[in-house]
Amino acid sequence: MKALWITSVYPSGCQPGSGVFHETQVQALHRLGVEVTVISPVPRSLTFIRNFRKADKANKQIPAVYERNGVKVYRPNYLALPGQLRWAQPDRRIAAAVLKTIEDYGLAPDLIHAHFAMPSGGAARIVASEKGLPWILTLHGSDVNVYPHYSSSAKKAFLQSVNMADSVLTVAENLQRKTKELAGRESAVLPIGIDLSQFQQPEQTKQQMRRLLGLPEDKKIITFVGRLTEAKGVFELAQTLKFLSNEVAIVFVGDGPAKDKLSRNPEFNSRLFITGQVANESVRDYLFASDLFALPSYTEGMPTVVLEAIALKIPVICTAVGGVPELFGEHRDLLIEPKSVSSLVQRIQDVLNRSLYSPKILLDLYEQVQQNYYSHKNAIQLKENYRNLLN
């Protein structure tokens, strides 16, 4: 069985943290004998814009073709226009890049699996029609919660992708409900999950791990892992330092447009640290070195890093958005509302004072991840979906 994945993000040597959740599922399928090929087109701005955008400079380092953990990955360029997800959908430009890659390298997939309704879903719709292939679409969060509300043309693009796919999956129940409301389309819930074997307790102690990572050994450490953007709640998290004792520090693991502003915080390099993007295998180490993990996002699908923190039995402070409430189940009262510095401060103090997360709660959440968010088990189900699509 040969599956062609079309996605806008995928890890590379120079961007190891980009789209790691995709690679988790690809590797799980690979171990099950599915031959997955990934085409992840790279946006390139107009020449006069390209010289000023950090993203374009970073994308220029991505190889056009590479093999990663036994999977062939193709990264053709396509022309990206300013504000394209709002007004000028890049479906056809991305589809042209994908079709050219298929022809140039003689790819012969049995099916297409697109990730995110926009822009990859729109491109997959065109490619599948051109090649006469069945296609499946996975919705991840922002493509349901954010993009369709940009403009009437954005919503039209969303509806086209969702209603023309042969099969639709969502990574969380709340996305399933919203997809039904927006498009009238039924979908199945199938989280990507995590590879639990990669998130076992390491041999080192917490203090030893901090020493290895160059983190302060005399602080209570809050860790954030993800893209550094306003919508991830990073500014609210940074503001909590004004209200917390000096023994508390925050480590931001990741990169993004909010990095410059965060680095101007008066506590930078004393109580606020930014690592930049790290390889996925290092994420476990930063989580393990923490006293708690915080992700105060405004919107989410099913954030993989929350699953990873829970798998390590690290207390989590998270907002009640996306699929997070269904993950927490009976413990959803631990979640907070987004955009509230005061709620964040109170939760942090509760966790650090050990008055919130009991060993039983940590175990309950771990068992929930083990039962419903194990990537191997979910990949078996995805392979069955592929088989049904082909039949």
**Mean pLDDT on 275-297:** 94
Share of the chain above pLDDT 90, in %: 84
Is the predicted pLDDT of residue 103 greater than 60, yes or no? Answer: yes
**Mean pLDDT on 286-294:** 97
Distance between CA 41 and CA 363 in Å, rounded?
Answer: 41
Distances (CA, A) of 137 to 156, 167, 251: 16, 6, 35
On whether the CB atoms of residues 145 and 178 are closer than 8 A, the answer is yes
Q: Collapse the DSSP code of 62 into the 3-class scheme (helix H, G, I; strand E, B; otherwise coil) and give the result.
A: coil
Is the predicted pLDDT of residue 49 greater than 80, yes or no? Answer: no
At 282 the pLDDT is 92
Using pLDDT thresholds of 50, 70 and 90, give the confidence band for residue 18.
confident
Helix axes 20-31 and 280-288, enclosed angle (nearest 10):
110
Q: How far is CA 214 from the centre of its chain?
A: 26
The DSSP-derived string for 76-113 is -EEE--TTTTTTS--HHHHHHHHHHHHHHHT---SEEE
**Mean pLDDT on 266-273:** 96
At 50 the pLDDT is 52
At 256 the pLDDT is 93
On whether the CB atoms of residues 224 and 348 are closer than 8 A, the answer is no
Q: Collapse the DSSP code of 234 into the 3-class scheme (helix H, G, I; strand E, B; otherwise coil) and give the result.
A: helix
Amino acid at 338: P
Average pLDDT taken over every residue of the chain = 93
Q: How far is CA 321 from the centre of its chain?
A: 14
Helix axes 280-288 and 206-213, enclosed angle (nearest 10):
130
Helix (H) or strand (E) holding 74, with range, is strand 71-74
pLDDT digits (tens, 9 = 90+) for 302-328: 999 999 999 999 999 999 999 999 999
**Mean pLDDT on 174-178:** 95
Distance between CA 36 and CA 216 in Å, rounded?
Answer: 42
**Mean pLDDT on 354-371:** 92
At 14 the pLDDT is 87
On whether the CB atoms of residues 154 and 86 are closer than 8 A, the answer is yes
At 200 the pLDDT is 83
At 201 the pLDDT is 82
Using pLDDT thresholds of 50, 70 and 90, give the confidence band for residue 60.
confident
Distance between CA 45 and CA 68 in Å, rounded?
Answer: 26
At 54 the pLDDT is 62
Is the predicted pLDDT of residue 66 greater than 60, yes or no? Answer: yes
Which domains, and CATH codes, for the chain? 2-193+374-390 (3.40.50.2000), 196-372 (3.40.50.2000)
Distance between CA 116 and CA 89 in Å, rounded?
Answer: 13
**Mean pLDDT on 231-241:** 98
Using pLDDT thresholds of 50, 70 and 90, give the confidence band for residue 202.
confident
